[in-house]
Each structure stands twice: as structure tokens, then as C-alpha cells.
Structure 1
Amino acid sequence: MRLILITWLFCALIATLGGTQASAGAVLDSVRERGYVKCGAGERHLGFVLRNSAGEWEGFDVDFCRAIAAAVLGDAMRARFFPVSNEQRLPMVQQGKVDVLYRTTTWTLGRDSLPGLDFAGVNFYDGQGFMVPRSLGAEKVADLKGRVVCVADHTTGSKNVVEYSKTHDLDFVVRLFASQDVLKNNVFLGKCDAYAEDISGLASIRAYNAPVPGDYVILPKAISKEPLGPVVRNDDDQWFDIVKWTLFATVEAEERGITSQNIDSFLAGEDVANRRFLGETAELGEALGLDPKWAYRIIKQVGNYGEIFERNIGPNTKVGLQRGLNDLWTRGGLMYAPPFR
């Protein structure tokens, strides 16, 4: 009996050590060895992810992937993007085919509890809405009673629409589409009375895909909470921390008034917290397994959260989104970074 107990304890110890070893930087080591970060991305979500006419990736989610590359590899351009469908995106993370998924993916309990997945924060607070032709005359969601509502399949949005219709006795005729391109074509060919999608997505699609953007209206009510953020495998605590704190670094910089343009002026200052954040001391980098200047490179090469937002989806872009919930907590928004100490 004693021999059996000793054997069991030995096996448990080996399993524990093995688990600890597997979570001790395997992804970081792989990224450094291959020389680039593998980012799962949207197929074509303008303002968030797009390959421009020069073949370069750009967009809100693209910049957050580039921030990881800047932190880990020293160069924001050392990120490669792998477009994945709604159906493929989470399995791609689970199977380790991408290092991180930045693809306007809603953080839900059901997804977060799936085997092999962790959400590493929220980079955009969204909500599901409806876009309709102006000619329909609808002013509120209730005006869509009995109407044809088109929505992408394999999304939280499809479930939201069905549940909302049932709860509010709206009798939507829900049409599901596996392909975003086919969905958009149906909308603009007049085969849908309403298009249900995250409001950020609707603004993007109206700006870039509608034949005449002014012919379409986004109804004012959001019917759900859609916190969007990065997803990683849950077997590497160090990589989870790196992705999470890279996002927080962009928010922290905006809170401190540090931008890609003025960052060097903060290096010579006497503010101890600023100097620690920008790597003038080593402790923050050491905690993540990175060099001291990791956060400095993120802001210098990619920008702070506000810069990333304004450049890609802000009021002066075609998407034209206001900060709203995505403003800093000091200005009434939800963006908040834990202390960097």
C-alpha cells in the first residue's frame, strides 16, 4: 500500500512539474525562434483589419497585434496575419495555429470556459445593433416586427437576434449566413430588411461597402453587451500576461499623456512611475520575461490606445466612431489599466 502511495505521489509530482514547464514561456520561445507573431485576424473588417492596396495589413486589431510584436521582438512589423472565419477562429487558437486571436471576438462565459482558451482583456466595448435602409422608415428596433433580419452564423449575434425577437415578441424572420461577403451582398441587394451586427461592424460596413452610405441608418439601440478582445491558449501563463499587459500598456500611456510623438520627453523626467513604465528601471520587464524597454517600444512604434483608436476608427475616419465606452475611465469611459508596479 505504501509503495502504491509513493508511486502515486511521484507520478503526481512529475505531472505537476510537466504542467509548470509547459506554461513557462513556450509560446514566447517559439515566437522568438520563428521571428514573428502569428495573429489570427478577421477576413475583412474595415477599420479593424484590412489588407490595403499595397498589400499591407492595417486596422485597429492589426495595431494591437503589432504592439505585441514590438514588445516581444522589438519590431512592430514582425507580426503576420492569418485571416480566419467566424467558425474557424476559436479552434485555430485551441490548436495552437495562431499565437493570439485579435478578431472582434466577444468575451462570454461560454467561450472563456471552452477547453484551451483564455480572453486576455477587452480592447473594444461594443454592442449589437441593426442597420436598415433609410427608405424602410424604421426608427427603433420595435419597428422591425415581422421583418427579415440577416445576421452572420457562428457568432454571438445570431443568438442575440433570436433571443431578442422571442423575448420582445418581434417575430423576426432570421436568415443566417456563413459568409460575410454573401451576407453583405444580400443586404445591399435589398434582400434583408435589417442587418444585425456589432455596431462597430455596421459603421465599418456602411462606410466601406454600402453603394451610398447615406442610404442606410444604424438604429440607436444596442440589444447586447459585446466586449471584444484578444484570445490566447490557456496553457501558457507568461504569454497570457504578455498579451494582457501589452493591451494595458496602450491604455496606461494614454492615461499618462504619453504618445508616440512625445514619449522621449518623458525619459528624462523625474516622475518615478513614468520612468518605471518606460523601462528606465528593469522590474516590469523582468516580471514578464521581457527586456526593460518593452512598453516604450509599444508606444513609440504603435501609439497609445487613443492614437490607435483615432487612426483607425475614430471620428475623422470613414468609420467615424466616437470613443463612448472606449474612452478613458477619467472621461466617463470604461478603459482602465491596473497599476504598473
Structure 2
Amino acid sequence: MLKTLSNQHLSLILAISSAALTSFGIVYYFQRKRKSPKRFIEVGSVSEILIYPVKSCRGISLDSAMCSLRGLKWGPLRDRKWMMINEKDRFVSARQEPKMALIVPSLSDDNQELILSTEGIEPIKIPANANVSQRLICTTIWNTDICGYECGKVAEEWLSKIFRYQGYKLVVHEDSLEGRKLADDPKWKPKSLYKDESLYSDLTQYLVISESSLDDLNKRLDEPVTMKNFRPNIVVKGCKAFAEDNWTEIKIGGAHLYRTHLCGRCRMTLVNPETGVMAHAEPLKTLREYRMVDKSHPDSKAFGVHPVFGSNFNMVEVGNIRVGDKVYAVIE
């Protein structure tokens, strides 16, 4: 009798549990069905596309480019595909050598060579693709690893004429090498997926800034600065100042990007892109007066004393973009 009651009791429990799970499943299904899909709205249009083949050197303004998994791609050029290193194989940027901002990259007519030029020195031509027979050099950028092939003595000698320093080398990334894994960055690890890779950029593959944000800053400065001080990849017009702070995802042309975090600004913004001289205070001083994140912001500790200007994005879907393309965003 007791065994019979136990079996009946067990059957009742299983029946109730099954019904509950079924009900939960149905409710969950319809809740998902009722949930509104992400709503992309038009927020502006692309006014400029910029690729920086050599880290910290001048950018190239483009009419169109491909948004690839590792950053902007234009022919054989990639964003931050080349980088300068010192004799200890540590990366060098315009923070240490402001005159890097005066090195102008361009692509040869046959698309086979990167041309580097600067005032007073004969231009140099470097193969657009890495020579894998050269020495492979591995280094770190903000505690994340990345390798590249040495560009040879010709590039080394050319750099020594500019900086009066023996020991600087140029390295180039090659497509078969691993990119810089953004999820390995100890500071910003939670912001990126493990698939996300960049080359020699400081942070993510894409930096987006609006023209209105720059206009807002320049109204507060005695001497205006240009967008070159901030080195974005995509410039947007037709939106309010700092609207890009609130775009969680954007679609441009065939590309789909997701925002990781705001861009904390450092001494790089002090480098005058026309003279290669680092200023003492502006525009960083003024940015600190009104573009510091609140202490309640989840990234406030990571930003520290750095004000924010522009938004960093990673790739969701690759695609081509053009100047004039409309920008659609999901707004948080």
C-alpha cells in the first residue's frame, strides 16, 4: 500500500513538474516572440574614412574601404599594419617621438609598395606585403602579444635620419600571423569577444567620432584643433555632439559594428599633426574639465585620469563602407 502511494505520489510530482516546465517554456517562448528586435535608426552619415598604415604616422583619407575583422582594409594596406620598435623590440609611438606624425604614407601606383615620405628626406619604398624570410619579432602592446616581420636595414637607416637615433626598426604584420587578441587586454578584457583581433592599434579595430563632438570641443579652446589630433577611422556628421557615446551598435554600408567602450584620451592628443611638436596642455586640459566619466560609470576606474572622446568599436559583420553612407545606430 505504501509502495503504491509512493508511486502515485511520484507520478503526481512528475506530472506537476512537467506541466510547470511546459508552461515556463511556453511563457519564455512568447516573451521572446514579443520582445522588440534591435531598432536601428538613422543618426547621420559618414563624412570621412581614415586608415593609418603605420602606427602613429599620418593617416590616408579614403573615399571607400572595407571594414574587415582586423580593421580597415584598402588594397594591400591595413590599419596599423606597420609599427616602429626600438632596440629592445618595444613599440614606439608619437608619445615618445612626436615627429612620427609628420611621416606621410601612400600607396604606389601598382599597389605593390608602401611609400613613406617626410620633409627634407628622400622618400622610401617598402614592399606592401611582408617578407617572411626576414626576422620575426614578437612584442607587446599594452600587455597583449603580437608579432611581425622586420622590414630590413633600408627602413632602419631611413628612420635614423629622421630621429637621429640608431636602433629604431619597422615591423610589418602578415595575414597568416595571429592578430592582437583584444580579449587578452587585462584592462578591457570583458569588453571584447575572443574572436576580436586588431593589428598594432592601441585598442579596438575602429574608432568613431562625430564632427559635432569636435565642434563642441573647439568652442571651448583658444586655439582650435583638428580631427587629426584624435585619429579616428570613421567620422560622422549630422548628429549631436557626443551622440556616439550612446551608440551600442552601428551599421554603415555593408558593415555592422558593436561598441566596446568610450575612448580614453592620452598625450597623443597633444601632438600637433602639422608640426610634430607636443603641446603642454591642450586639448587634454580642456577635455578633463568636462569629459571625465562619473565615478558611478562602470569604466571609471579603468579610465583613471583620462577624459573620453570618441567611441571604440569591434566587428560584427564585415562589409564595405563609403563616404556619404548613412549611419544607423542602436541607441542605449
TM (normalized to structure 2)? 0.24
Structure in which a larger fraction of residues adopt strand: 2
Larger radius of gyration between Structure 1 and Structure 2: 2
Structure in which a larger fraction of residues adopt helix: 1
